[in-house]
Structure 1
Amino acid sequence: MTSTAPSTTTSIPDPAQAQARILRVLVASQILSGAGLAAGVTVGALIAQDMLGSTSLAGLPSALFTAGSALAAVTIGRISQARGRRPGLATGYLAGAIGSAGVITAAVRDSPVLLFIALFVYGAGTATNLQARYAGADLARAGHRARAVSTVLVATTLGGVAGPNLAAPAGTLAAHLGIPHLAGLFVISGAAYALAALVLAVRLRPDPLLLARAVAQAEEADVAAGPATDRRDAGTSEGRGGVVLGALVMILTQLVMVAIMTMTPVHMHDHGHSTAASGLVIGIHIGAMYLPSPLTGWLVDRHGSRRIAVVSGITLLAAGVLAAAAPGGSVALLALALALLGLGWNFGLVSGTAMITDTVPLATRAKTQGLIDVSIAIAGATGGMASGIMVAATSYPVLALTGGALSLALLPAVAATADRR
């Protein structure tokens, strides 16, 4: 038996070299998918508002594609658990491309029902964009996982910032293609998602999750059973609290972020701002969601995920207060509020992801991560749907203040788990 161990170990690629390649491929796919992600955020609510002639249902598109991302998250998690990250992520982006094509068809046919179905399918791209962060952490060493996650997240910035600011040229493209003006961004979205799927299907080799499992099995074969069992027990004892808190952090930050973000373009549109202006604000918001990721990853690895989760709640509160106080005609103040909103979300996502990755064993990691992202997507769907209803019943400032107040729930949650720990 001992003679076969060296050959098994040598057949496994070097994890450090594989991690560098995997991060490069994930960065390329995230740049593309960031552009696809931004389209629905920027004009999805406006397309629905034009079709329905009502602001009260303007939050429905966000709710639908976040609900669609919930189904996609569990599907991608199960595919990744069984076959690896590569087929799971590629399938998700391909579904996002199909959803984009459906939105374009719905806009041409002026069909709200088809629009809602297509937006549900389009949500798979959102789920995949988020689940890619887990692939970046599969092979990362302990103490460097948050930075690996942040590397994947920051790549979304380039496409995410560029996407909304392509609203004007996308409208020109739509005119040439003979489709409604607002649907032009979904042409870009579909192409971006399809290219991201192709990059992952062809280049994400070796598969990070499958390689991480192989490395773990090889290490267990070389280590005595006693110490290995001790490590597993230690991870399990702290795992439950970390999983619950990590999920709660990401759920709350997603709920608050989606609710305020969804209605900001509608709020600006009602105050006479152009699609280009709302696209600029959303572009700044998405940039703040992803661009600070390297700094956030370093802070989490250095100071701990719980402390950064607290910072997330405080930042989201500041965003809600500023969004509520900003005059409707002030693009600058709304952009600043949305930047803080994105930054608070980033703090929450990176810290929550680090908690999950550190505490969930490889044997069940992808499935558990998919289920947690379902909860995150449901929170986003709830925020998107409730935002339109709340603004119709009250006002955008009330929505922003409510979101800011909800984010403060992170502070007692972190304190409670810290005491039990």
Structure 2
Amino acid sequence: MKEKRTLMLPGPTPIPKKARLAGAEEIIGHRELECEELLEEVVEGLKYVFQTKNDVLVLTCSGTGGLEASIANTLSKGDKVLSLCTGAFGERYATIAENYGVNVERLDFNWGESIDIDLVEEKLEADNKIKAILMTHNETSTGVINHPKPIGKLAQKYDCLLLIDAVSSLAGIELKTDEWAADVVVTSSQKALMTSPGLCLVSVSPKALKAGESADLPKFYWSFKRAKDRYDAKKQTPSTPAISTLYMLREVLREIKEEGLENVFRRHKIVTKAIRESMKAIGLKLLVSDKIASKTVTAVKLPQGIEYNVLRQKLIDDYNVYITGSKGQLKGQVFRIGHLGNVSRIDILSTISALELALLKLGFEVELGIGLQAAQKVFYEEERR
């Protein structure tokens, strides 16, 4: 009998049953009142999750499209930006800007480390021509959180924009868009928003919209102005949206509101702690310290003598459990477990059990059940609080 698929990726993530069923709703015209009402409810629900009163725009694309849009709508060719790179996705944000002819200064940090705020301020203090800071809230390739709050304070102090890649963090890790002075925040539907791929959601501050008035980079499909004007006038998108995904996202946003954001964040923290404690108990080494560890994905160093592709395939073939590797400098050195969105405690326990068995079969000495015990202890202690 085929095992149940256990999807432990940093995205796409498992979709709640009600949301899956909502995606099967009859398709409607994207200029009908029914679709306008659907979009309006989604936007209001997103403002709750973004913790913002700013405009939230719905783009039909992946998160990468939203990152590209954040550059095209706020900057001009030759503008200088400071890109904070702590891994593959921080580097990709910088590359997107470079492809638009933006003058990018990369501030590189070791993979597995978080942003050094003092170094960021040194750069801003030394150069008054920096128009924007690019940062990745949750560096998925390494499993590191970079905290936006102090960066937002620096952006205000030195009068530049703060553009945030929150693709793998929003709705899983606290991000107070307005309070932390984030000008553009980009996320996508298939991560902690636990919906199918196809939508990118972007919050845009008045400061970012003002910057867009003089931005000369080319845009049409990516235009924030077109998206805002159409929504303000008719509660529509300029082009046809992913209607079925909107149905699903509406249901998920209702569930998030019912659970409450603080409870959502706490659930992610507990699951993260369970994963990390279980890996330590098994005898595996974590890539990053607990202090800067992501609450949506955990990077684990591969034991000597075990190849990532072999471990991954063993988990799939024997237990139908899906994990992923890393990119760039860490390719082949770590595996990553995603634990965001609709990931249950049972999913966590199943994954740990499968991992113990797979490692044992591949020659790694592990006491079966030791990782499970560590995770169970975390869950038990948290439930008693």
- Return the TM-score normalized by structure 1: 0.26
Tell me which protein shows more helix as a share of its residues. Answer: 1
- Return the TM-score normalized by structure 2: 0.28
